[in-house]
Structure 1
Amino acid sequence: MKKLTWVSLLMVVLMMVTACNKSNIETPESATPEAPAESPGEPEMEPESPAEEVETPSEEGAGITYTVDELYPFEENVYRVYEGMGNEFAGYDEYVDFLDGSRIQLRRNNGGTEIVSVLEKKDGMLVEIISRPETYYKENFLDKDPEENRILLKEPLTLDASWDSEGQTATVTGVDVEVKTGIGTFTALEVTRVTKGKESEKRVEYYVRGMGLVKVTDTGKEYEVSATLTKMEGNAIRKRFVNFYYPNAQDERIFLYRKEISFTTNDIPKILIINAYKELPKEAVPVLTKNTKVNYLYLNQDGRVYLDLTKEFLQEMNAGAGYEGLILQSLANTIGDYYGVSKVMLTIDGKTYESGHIVLEKFEALEVNYDSIVDMN
């Protein structure tokens, strides 16, 4: 019985040694066992989403806001030049004709025409209420009733803000956009306009704090036109040439003299014109007497200019019928030329014109006539 026990113990020891040697052969000491492709009793771990690991950055420009007053200040005597690309009339210069409170009147000249535009600030908006092309004379339209309602800017001016106006949808597509101009590089508010039904065409405008509009780009399927600010001047004086006509009593002809007149914001054109008219060239004789004043002077919607002078025009004239006719013709040519019309309605202190030689019936106009004009320039 004791002998069988020792034999049994010996067999157990041999089995353990054999098992240990077999394990050393199959798994080298330097190797690391590979993890199974699938772990049978445990589900595979899903990787964490980046959104859970890192906080999503805020949208670029979010939180930046502007006001209309910041982006489009109203300032007098400001002159700007915009360089055009893509079209011969894309560039233009701009001057402030008139400014009063919440309204400003701008004059733009693109080399082909002059456009007068009146902008108004109201209810957190910048609105174009008048736009008149082919307007070569200076006249104050600030007190006119609105003729349109095109919203240029509308608060809140934040990213993705939008508004509809005059068949267009305008959207703030950028609030800190870098824009290069001829006078520097600035951070701008970007407004993109699309006309309904013409989605392939768009206009992009760039506004800078304290400066206003600095660049505009129009694009379509086959074109791209832009205008970029290249010059901005304060305390500027605008100059233009005006034609003045004077009679020559000796041979019944009319002389033409071209004079340069300087305009600043809010100058009253009728005063400038009348004062310049009274300054006589050497060979000319006067049309307006020394004490003649203008009661009113304006272009009416009927296409006629209405001119009302004080009684001194008649009292101090002292002219015969022929010379008086030359005076009236010279006056009609000067005023009609300035406003670009062919008829001038002349009255004296609100009454029809009547002298000892000439009578103008009610609604009878002086006709502009450039026959027998002698250019003295």
Structure 2
Amino acid sequence: MKKKIIAILLSLSIPFSMISCKESAKNVTTQNNNLASSANESSDKANSSNESNNEVSNVNNNADNKEDIKEANANIYYYDAVNDKIVYINKVIKIEEKMTATALVDELKKSPNSDIAPAISNEINLNSANVDEESSTITLDFSSNFVQAQNLGGGAESSTIKAICNTFGSYFKVDNVIITLDGEPYSSGHILMSEGESFKVDLDNSSPLN
């Protein structure tokens, strides 16, 4: 009788053990799936964060590139030989990498119309430009071929020099312009400047070009 009871109990306990094992296996599988899902979510968040950081980085890089080029308003002066007067045009110029003096020279190499010649020949290079605020002076050092490349007579040379000086004087708000040629004082057959001698900026005797 006891053996029968023991056998019956054993037969009843086996299914419960199997159910318990299956439930444990299901729990382990569910936990593993949850862990995998959490890991995937974390990975997705990390990737999303990296993409956002890359976008911000790209925006910053683009902003830096835009800062390399800026626009500024300037008066560009020329000598009108037909009417024998100094004229100017107001225009927006592009300045790359803070090279303002170079940008002004580039504009002076352009002709405002068919009747007026450029103030500076294309063959001339600007070596350097330095502003001294205390003396209200800007020093422009051009290549030594300046006089030869300009090829101007006495009156035209003086007026063209004035146009150049007015362009830099008005933009940098200085009263004096020293022009040197490869470090030497400006010298031509008509004008002879001494060491440190400057040309005066004269904005009053000029008129806008229509």
TM tier, shorter chain? Answer: 0.5 to 0.7
Q: Find 2:170's aligned residue among 313, 337, 356.
A: 337
Q: Given that residues 242 and 338 in structure 1 are in contact (C-alpha distance below 8 angstroms), is that contact kept between their aligned partners in structure 2? A: yes
CA distance in 1, matches of 2:137, 2:62: 30
Normalised by the length of structure 1, the TM-score is 0.37
CA distance in 2, matches of 1:363, 1:235: 38
Match status 1:317 vs 2:154? no
Q: CA RMSD in A?
A: 2.2
SS of 1:371 mapped into structure 2 = coil
Q: Find 2:102's aligned residue among 271, 284, 304.
A: 271
Residue 295 of structure 1 is matched in structure 2 by 127
Q: How far has the Cα of 1:372 moved from its partner?
A: 2.9
Change in 2 beyond 3 A, CA 1:312/1:371: same
Match status 1:280 vs 2:81? no
CA distance in 2, matches of 1:255, 1:77: 39
> Which whole-Å deviations, capped at 9, do the CAs of 1:113-140 have from their partners, x for residues lacking one?
xxxxxxxxxxxxxxxxxxxxxxxxxxxx
Change in 2 beyond 3 A, CA 1:77/1:277: farther
SS of 2:147 mapped into structure 1 = helix
SS of 1:328 mapped into structure 2 = helix
Match status 1:261 vs 2:93? yes
User: Alignment identity in percent?
Assistant: 26
Q: How far has the Cα of 1:77 moved from its partner?
A: 6.5
Residue 368 of structure 1 is matched in structure 2 by 201
Q: Given that residues 77 and 167 in structure 2 are in contact (C-alpha distance below 8 angstroms), is that contact kept between their aligned partners in structure 1? A: yes
Change in 2 beyond 3 A, CA 1:322/1:77: farther
SS of 2:160 mapped into structure 1 = helix
Change in 2 beyond 3 A, CA 1:77/1:369: farther
Q: Given that residues 289 and 312 in structure 1 are in contact (C-alpha distance below 8 angstroms), is that contact kept between their aligned partners in structure 2? A: no
Structure with higher RCO (Cα < 8 A, 6+ apart)? 2
CA distance in 1, matches of 2:200, 2:129: 16
More strand by proportion, 1 or 2?
1
Residue 245 of structure 1 is matched in structure 2 by 77
Change in 2 beyond 3 A, CA 1:361/1:77: farther
SS of 2:150 mapped into structure 1 = coil
Query: Given residue 255 of structure 1, which amino acid in structure 2 is its aligned partner?
Result: V
Match status 1:358 vs 2:195? no
SS of 1:336 mapped into structure 2 = helix
